[in-house]
Chain A
Amino acid sequence: MKLAKLLNGSTIFWIKVFIHGLCIGWASLVFNQAAYDQLGGDPVEALLHFTGISAFNLLLLCLCISPLAKLLRASPLMKFRRLLGLYAFAFASAHLLTYILFELQLEWYLLGSEIVKRPYITVGFLAWTILLLLALTSPKAAQRRLGRNWQKLHNWVYPAGGLVALHYIWSVKSDILQPTLYIGLLLILLFFRKDKFISATYWFNTKRS
């Protein structure tokens, strides 16, 4: 296919360079603005929102890859999936760090109690934990060692997506328009995996009976 041919080694390399540049460049620009108090009235809130939304955007983008590769019959697209997933994790970590460093300002006792007591923070933290496991097992070596279990483990990206969506809609006061749109996008992307969910429920039911 055309797109598959277009995506040769050097184009893939340069697109990856572009993704690196965009993610690192944009993030450092915004962090710099926040550091110099140039990010609106409350730089902490602005930064929390920026890192959170960026992580969600990247996660959704990452979930676009395999349906797109199938649809366009362009398997080289899969070469970007890990990179996007890792950047989703990086922004999610920046989100968590912003919360710990600048919102809670290192009041650790509060971090523990907030994660336990506040459901929307609990689900956000769970989502981050899943992404951490996926990031840790993303190198090729880990993939080889885990064998068939690797795919099983990485299917956890779907529950993570759901938790992120829940975290988002739960955190807002009443303006649910944007979180609702994000949930819609996520559901569309999950729809492409419906076979996986059907076989998972089948597996679950047969195990139980």
Chain B
Amino acid sequence: MLIKRPRYQTIAENQVTDESVYQNRRQVLKQLGFIGAGALLSPGQSLAFNLFGDDPPGFKTHALSYAKQENDNQTLTPLNKVTSHNNFYEFGTDKADPKANAQAFKVDPWQLQVDGLVENPFSLSLDELYKIAPLEERIYRLRCVEAWSMVIPWIGFPLRALLQKAKPLSSGKYVAFETLYDPKQMPGQASVFRGGGIDYPYVEGLRMDEAAHPLTLLAVGLYGKSLPAQNGAPIRLVVPWKYGFKSIKSLVRIRITDKQPPTTWNLLAPNEYGFYANVNPKVDHPRWSQARERRITTGGLFASNRIDTLPFNGYEEVASLYSGMDLGRSY
């Protein structure tokens, strides 16, 4: 029998520095050093002190297998910014609230119902969401109506793949979307004050041709892993040529209708947010300009990041969907 005797200088497994600690060593030193006290004040920074494992205790994501998109030279918004700067009023109206309040969010079991004017209504469980079509990476610009933007590597599949399974009837002209309504899990839905005065559940809608456009994505992940809770786990819409609020999160229902469905922000302030909400530098929000935007990437205050906003957020290929329409009136 071979007995391996450790020599005194042999390092045991439990003495090895955890990878996350090793990867973060400079970060940790920096935090302990000159910004020390400041880091303690900021809740977002506490994660840098997470010395006990790879994931902070909280929402679990898992790796996905998908077809990578070729790098198109856009600077990505770093993962920590994508996951810590979110408008998801169900978890609070502050940008940092969703990350702070969504960690206990349960997506298992999940049910996404696809129905309405379709030949083949069906519902999908959590596992089935990842199997509707081959997953692919799509690096999209996300332009928020508040005039900031990000570049995010989503993982998902075209919405049209799901529509093809449901076989919409010819009377189906619109697609209506609905977010989970669960006030026990979503503090913003439980209190009218914390939820920004929105009448929940959050609803959105697209015209059928918009929904069927190859760019329109149902995302189940980002940065190689399944969606974090604060980004709309387990499945969300991503319509890259429209303002971010159209890209509804944590979907439980997709319904084909013959009438234009109500949409949440339009109900809340019809003079500020229209049904279409196409990114358009020529149509200002009544309270601020939409001509330019601040691109959030790396760098703090002094990183110059103001750029022109492009029509349809630079996705000119969708322009033909709106030919003949007055985009100033149908904002």
Contacts and interface: CB of A to CB of B under 8 A. Distances in A.
A12 B16 CA distance: 56
A32 B33 CA distance: 13
A102 B301 contact: yes
Given A32-B38, A120-B287, A174-B196, A41 B81 contact: yes
Interface string A92-123: 00000000001111010010011001111000
Interface stretch (A2-10, A43-51, A71-79, A195-203): A43-51
Contacts of B41: 29
B301 A40 contact: no
The DSSP consensus for interface residues of chain B is loop
A30 interface: yes
A183 to B, nearest CB: 14
Contacts, number: 97
Interface string B193-204: 110111000000
Interface string B266-304: 001100000000000000000111001010101111111
Interface stretch (B89-97, B135-143, B248-256): B89-97
B36 to A, nearest CB: 10
Interface string B178-193: 0000000000000001
A36 B42 CA distance: 13
Contact of A38 (B39, B82, B269): B39
A158 interface: no
Nearest to B30: A36
Interface string A21-60: 0000000011111111111111111110000000000000
A39 to B, nearest CB: 7
Contact of B294 (A33, A44, A119): A44
A97 B10 CA distance: 58
Interface residues of B, number: 42
Contact of B93 (A102, A104, A118, A175): A175
A38 to B, nearest CB: 6
Interface residues of A, number: 38
A56 B145 CA distance: 26
A177 B198 contact: no
B89 A30 contact: no
A170 interface: yes
A46 B38 CA distance: 14
A11 B232 CA distance: 54
B148 interface: yes
A174 B81 contact: no
B3 interface: no
Given A34-B301, A174-B197, A175-B89, A40 B42 contact: yes
Given A47-B301, A170-B287, A33 B196 contact: no
A45 B87 CA distance: 13
A187 interface: no
B35 interface: yes
Given A38-B39, A47-B301, 13 more contacts: A29-B37, A29-B38, A33-B38, A34-B301, A38-B300, A39-B300, A40-B42, A40-B95, A40-B96, A46-B95, A110-B289, A173-B146, A174-B269
Interface of B: 35, 37-39, 41-42, 44-45, 80-82, 84-86, 89, 93, 95-96, 146, 148, 193-194, 196-198, 268-269, 287-289, 292, 294, 296, 298-306
Q: Which 10 A-B pairs have the closest CB atoms?
A: A41-B85, A175-B93, A37-B300, A175-B196, A177-B193, A41-B81, A174-B196, A105-B306, A34-B301, A29-B38
11 contacts: A32-B35, A33-B35, A34-B301, A37-B300, A41-B296, A42-B294, A43-B301, A114-B288, A117-B289, A170-B287, A175-B196
